[in-house]
Each structure stands twice: as C-alpha cells, then as structure tokens.
C-alpha cells in the first residue's frame, strides 16, 4: 500500500537531460520503497517568463496545476542542473509563478501548498562538482523562501555524461547509494510527519 505521495521534478526538460534521468532513478527508488510517485514535466506547464504586467492579465493554468500538484503531495524529489551556479530558469520560473497563486474555491494558495513539503535535492552535471552550487542555492530558495523542509542529505552526480547506461540506469553503485540516501531521508521524514499526532 502506498503511504506518502511524492512529486518528482526535473529542472531540465531537455531531450536526454541527465537530471531527468537522475529524477527518474529517484522516482524508481521511491516507488520501490512504497511511495506513490507522480512525475511532472515543467515544460508541459507552458509557463511564460514571469512578468508582473503579464500577471495582471491572469495567472496561467500551468501555475494552478503546479499548486494543485504540491497540495496533493507530501514530498518533492527534485533534480536540477546548475546554470552558472544557480538552478535553471525553467525551475525558478515555475516556482515563482506558483508562489503567486492565491487561495480560491477550496484550492490552497501557492505558499500554503509549498509549506511543509519535505524536499530532497539532487543534481547532475557533466562537470567535476555535480552541480554543488545549484544544490546550495536551491536549498535556500525552497527552504527560506517557499517554506519547504529540505532534508540535509543531497547528492550531486559528477561526470553525468558517463554515468548512465543505455536504459537510463546509473552504472556506479556508489551513485545509486547517493540517490537512495536522499530518497530514503525524504520518505522517512515525510512518513514521520504524516504519522505525527
Ligand atoms: C547557461 C548554462 C550554464 C551552465 N552552468 C554550469 C555550471 O555552473 N556548472 C555546471 O556544472 N554545469 C553548467 N552548465 C552545464 C550543464 O551542467 C549541462 O548542460 C547539463 O547537461 C544540463 O543538465 P541536463 O542534462 O539535465 O539538461 C551550464 C549550462 C548552461 C546551458
């Protein structure tokens, strides 16, 4: 029986994205451990670049959809690339849009939906540092600004261009263990919170 519901997101929707592959490994491990997993493709939300003038004309449906997804899940597993030390515009833009959504017709606001979500962070880069700087910036963004509970465990996959086999599995057992540590910390924390009196 599935207990906690986990949303899986990649900060890149690029065809062949290493982060999408890493997110998919995390999704598999979470499902194996009994979680109900939903994967969302940020590109499919079709969100324009945030602009307050545009916002005055209305909030795109994709932002509401993302808020509903967060409201319906206990936890987030996120794999994002590092672009110049930061998470990608695709990710930040989607979360910015969702953060502006107000409560309406029984649907919570973006900030209520984000609040208390247990999050685990992953990153993949062809470089030697595995996107470490983006992990730190993402942690600050999700925790300090969006009110999520980011677990201390995190994993940056180095040399991501050599890390997967043709089926998208991680070839190195140490890397699988790194992802698994994050996934299990998220599930442990989300379960403890869910069962708290
Ligand atoms: C604008 C831009 C900036 C980048 N900056 C970094 C960086 O700071 N650190 C890093 O490790 N890789 C950087 N990269 C390389 C990405 O890690 C690489 O393109 C990676 O494959 C993107 O993730 P994806 O495969 O999931 O799309 C950058 C790529 C782009 C396009």
pLDDT tens figures, 7-20 = 999 999 999 999 99
pTM of the model: 0.97
pLDDT over 70 percentage in the chain:
99
Which residue's CA is the nearest one to ligand 1's atom 29?
83
Which residue's CA is the nearest one to ligand 1's atom 31?
83
**What atom in ligand 1 is closest to the CA of residue 79?**
26
In the reported structure, the alpha carbon of residue 154 is separated from the centroid of ligand 1 by a whole-number distance in angstroms of 18
Confidence of residue 197 (pLDDT cuts 50, 70, 90): confident
Of 167, 149, 180, 134, nearest in space to 28 by CA: 180
Confidence of residue 2 (pLDDT cuts 50, 70, 90): low
Confidence of residue 3 (pLDDT cuts 50, 70, 90): confident
Contacts of residue 132, Cβ cutoff 8 Å, sequence gap at least 6: 82, 123, 156
In the reported structure, the alpha carbon of residue 63 is separated from the centroid of ligand 1 by a whole-number distance in angstroms of 25
b/e per residue 106-145 (b: at least 16 CB within 10 A): eebbbbbbbeebbbbbbbbbeeeebbbbbbbbbbebbeee
> Which DSSP string corresponds to 66-115?
HHHHHHT-SEEEEE---BTTB--HHHHHHHHHHHTPPPBTTBPPHHHHHT
Q: What is the pLDDT of residues 97-140, one digit of tens each?
A: 999 999 988 899 999 999 999 999 999 999 999 999 999 999 99
**What atom in ligand 1 is closest to the CA of residue 10?**
26
Q: What is the longest distance spanned by two Cα atoms in the chain?
A: 50
Query: Which CATH number fits the domain that encloses residue 17?
Result: 3.40.50.360
Q: Is a pLDDT exceeding 60 seen at residue 96?
A: yes
- Does the Cβ of 80 fall within 6 Å of ligand 1? no
Contacts of residue 20, Cβ cutoff 8 Å, sequence gap at least 6: 10, 12, 13, 14, 79
Q: If you average pLDDT over residues 182-192, what whole number do you get? A: 98
Domain tally for the chain? 1
Which residue's CA is the nearest one to ligand 1's atom 9?
82
- Does the Cβ of 18 fall within 6 Å of ligand 1? yes
Cα 59 to Cα 52: distance, rounded to the nearest angstrom? 10
What integer pLDDT is reported at residue 39 of this predicted model? 98
Three-state secondary structure call for residue 38: strand
Probe target for ligand 1 pocket from 9, 16, 82, 132, with the most ligand atoms within 8 Å of CB: 82
Contacts of residue 105, Cβ cutoff 8 Å, sequence gap at least 6: none
Q: Is a pLDDT exceeding 70 seen at residue 157?
A: yes
Structure tokens belonging to residue 128: 């030697």
Q: If you average pLDDT over residues 141-168, what whole number do you get? A: 98
**Structural domain harbouring 22:** 5-194
What integer pLDDT is reported at residue 1 of this predicted model? 45
């Amino acid at each position: 029986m599935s207990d906690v519901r986990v949303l899986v997101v990649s900060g890149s929707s690029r065809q062949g994205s290493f982060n999408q592959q890493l997110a998919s490994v995390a999704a598999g491990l979470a499902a194996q451990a009994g979680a109900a997993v939903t994967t969302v493709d940020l590109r499919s939300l079709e969100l324009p670049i945030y602009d307050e003038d545009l916002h005055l004309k209305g909030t795109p449906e994709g932002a509401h959809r993302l808020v509903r997804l967060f409201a319906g899940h206990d936890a987030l597993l996120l794999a994002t690339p590092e672009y110049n030390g930061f998470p990608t515009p695709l990710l930040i833009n989607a979360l910015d849009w969702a953060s502006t959504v107000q409560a309406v017709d029984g649907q919570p606001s973006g900030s209520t939906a984000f609040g208390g979500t247990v999050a685990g962070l992953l990153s993949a880069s062809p470089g030697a540092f595995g996107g470490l700087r983006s992990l730190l910036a993402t942690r600050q963004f999700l925790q300090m600004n969006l009110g999520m509970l980011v677990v201390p465990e995190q994993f940056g996959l180095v040399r991501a261009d050599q890390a997967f086999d043709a089926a998208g599995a991680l070839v190195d057992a140490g890397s699988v263990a790194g992802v698994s540590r994050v996934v299990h910390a998220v599930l442990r924390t989300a379960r403890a919170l869910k069962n708290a009196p």
